[in-house]
Structure 1
Amino acid sequence: MSAFSDSDPALKPLEIFGAELRKHRHRAGLTQEQLAEITQFSRSLLGFIERGQRTPSRNFAQRCDDALGAGGELAHLWAQVTRAASPRWFRGWLEVEQEAHTLHSWEPLVVPGLLQTEDYARAVIRGEPGITEEQVEKAVEARLERQKIFSRRTPPMFWVVLDEGVLRRPIGGKDVLRRQLEYLQEVAELPRIGIQVVPLALGATTGTSGGFIIAQFSGSADTVYIESANHGQVTDRSEDVAAIHARYDTIRVGAYPQHVSIELIREVEKSWT
């Protein structure tokens, strides 16, 4: 059972993390000053985090976990904190994503979050109107945490179809995009990730209305996530799932095969040098 389940429901996730950190510190017989010296974080930052007033980084959680002998509890709790920081409408999809054995993604505008580099993700998230730098960093941490599904013993199959415009849109500047395109070439070599590109010359409009992801499971119906300007929709309604499958199949028919797609990615990446 998670620390969230055992705690006062009125407490916020950051307060729960702070309370757990303080509990483990006391159990280890350390003062804030001593823990700060061991972890090389400032005492003031430790104080803010123990009071639930600052969001810990992944590095902070892991170093405190190691220093206090918490057995992975703080690192695990950090993942729950970042999950709780996600919009409510997206949390349902995070659960779906964790359980799926296969994911099919269509993206007409940006590289899908599961394959974004840290700098590219930061640039994408900064485009949200009114977002603060602290919110940006929290969202980046959460996005990188999602990508850990590919580090599991049996990661999901992930089939991605991108519009060619994604490769040519300099999000974050040419250096950030170049590194992102290099990373796509790297992950495409993994046996459970496939990448195809729909050429601009095709002129198709089937997928221009927005991106989506199809999640498939063993023994249960598919679920889809459909992007929109304000928030996405997660649904397993048979009519919606069937419509998205039909749209995905139509888009994928016009895509280059993987080996041609990767060569195109390589050519575009060189053009940004």
Structure 2
Amino acid sequence: MTFRPQPLSPFASTRHYFGSELRRHRERANLSLVQLADIVNSSKSTLARIETAELMPPPDMPSCLDIAFGTDQYFTGLYELAKQDIHPDKYKRYMNFEARAEVIEQYGAQALPGLFQTEQYARELLRRQEHLTAEMVDERVTARMSRQERQQSSNPPFRWAIIDESVLRRQVGSRSCMHQQLASLLEQVDTPNSKVQVMPFSAGPHSLLGGALTLLTLPDGTSVAYEESIEAGHLYEDPDAVKKWRRQYDVLRANSHSLAESAAMIRTAMEDYRP
């Protein structure tokens, strides 16, 4: 049976445009899907699904395509735009702020903030959302991990996280998954670019107990706040509203364990999850 490429709709989204440009460059180079798959260390089916926008390209593929086609950073740039398509529209403004923020302060009540999650931990959390298919889980994990790429740049944001003690005590995935996650968290407790505090049970209830909060300080000195509950989130840009959330965060920080005490608590929790 003769293989017939599926029609494309390049202007439906940046993700669709990435796929159509992949096919255009591949055909111009007279390469079949199989031939290109060998060059970029992928599979024919994966490339075919990327061309039709059924699948987001993995993070390492754009640079491989640029090398294969000699397109400098063309596909790398398209990927930076296309990966925003994974996020629902209501989160895109927040993601734009986060990508520019110089300081990121977060509180997580029931799970670690996404910027501190390992890939396996993130996958286990997302798998619990029953409306997400396996493919959607893969895409959300890719999107979450891509948000951490700035941390490896020459100018990373400064991150401060306060996590509730329940995050350490609730097992997500296997014991090995939790042990690896806490080991990664421990490495970020006190570095030049990250600080982590634990809010202990002994501190009692507080104003942020029911949700999660992120404060973003932008290059021009302005701040925004993002408050998130189970199924909804709200972005606050009004200075008075942001000031209210910052006040609550500062109170939480003052009542949390010190960096040294937090590190000790994380080490103790790690022992409980040792494989």
TM exceeding 0.5: yes
How far 1:245 moved relative to its partner?
A: 0.9
Structure 1 residues 217 and 45, CA gap change in structure 2 (3 angstroms): closer
Partner residue, 1:133: 134
Which amino acid is the alignment partner of residue 35 of structure 2?
Answer: Q
**Corresponding position: 1:73 with 2:74:** yes
Contact 1:113 1:121 in 2 (8 A): yes
Whole-Å separation in 2 of the counterparts to 1:61 and 1:272: 37
Tell me the SS of whatever aligns to 2:148.
helix
**Corresponding position: 1:86 with 2:87:** yes
Contact 1:85 1:138 in 2 (8 A): yes
How far 1:201 moved relative to its partner?
A: 1.4
Alpha-carbon RMSD across the aligned residues, in angstroms, is 1.9
Contact 1:79 1:145 in 2 (8 A): no
How does the TM-score come out when normalised to structure 1? 0.90
Whole-Å separation in 2 of the counterparts to 1:180 and 1:228: 23
How far 1:152 moved relative to its partner?
A: 2.0
Partner residue, 1:60: 61
Unpaired runs of 5+ residues, structure 1, are 1-7
Which amino acid is the alignment partner of residue 176 of structure 1?
Answer: C
How far 1:47 moved relative to its partner?
A: 2.6
Contact 2:10 2:19 in 1 (8 A): no
**Corresponding position: 1:101 with 2:102:** yes
Partner residue, 1:28: 29
Partner residue, 1:161: 162
**Corresponding position: 1:239 with 2:245:** no
Whole-Å separation in 1 of the counterparts to 2:93 and 2:135: 24
How far 1:137 moved relative to its partner?
A: 0.5
Whole-Å separation in 1 of the counterparts to 2:124 and 2:107: 20
Count matched residues: 266
Whole-Å separation in 1 of the counterparts to 2:99 and 2:15: 23
Tell me the SS of whatever aligns to 2:147.
helix
Unpaired runs of 5+ residues, structure 2, are 1-8
Partner residue, 2:258: 257
Tell me the SS of whatever aligns to 2:209.
coil
Contact 1:206 1:250 in 2 (8 A): no
How far 1:149 moved relative to its partner?
A: 1.5
How far 1:23 moved relative to its partner?
A: 2.5
Structure 1 residues 67 and 9, CA gap change in structure 2 (3 angstroms): closer
Which amino acid is the alignment partner of residue 250 of structure 2?
Answer: D
Whole-Å separation in 2 of the counterparts to 1:54 and 1:103: 30
How far 1:81 moved relative to its partner?
A: 2.0
Tell me the SS of whatever aligns to 2:60.
helix
Partner residue, 1:12: 13
How does the TM-score come out when normalised to structure 2? 0.90
Which amino acid is the alignment partner of residue 213 of structure 2?
Answer: F
Contact 2:227 2:235 in 1 (8 A): yes
Partner residue, 1:211: 212
Partner residue, 1:267: 268
Q: Which moved more, 1:66-75 or 1:168-177?
A: 66-75
Contact 1:32 1:43 in 2 (8 A): yes
Whole-Å separation in 1 of the counterparts to 2:144 and 2:192: 22
Whole-Å separation in 2 of the counterparts to 1:54 and 1:225: 29
How far 1:37 moved relative to its partner?
A: 2.6
Partner residue, 2:231: 230
Whole-Å separation in 1 of the counterparts to 2:42 and 2:104: 39
Percent identity, aligned pairs only, is 29
Which amino acid is the alignment partner of residue 23 of structure 2?
Answer: R
Which amino acid is the alignment partner of residue 59 of structure 2?
Answer: R
Deviation track 1:76-112 (CA, whole Å, cap 9, x = no partner) reads 3223222111011111111111211111111111111
Contact 1:159 1:194 in 2 (8 A): yes
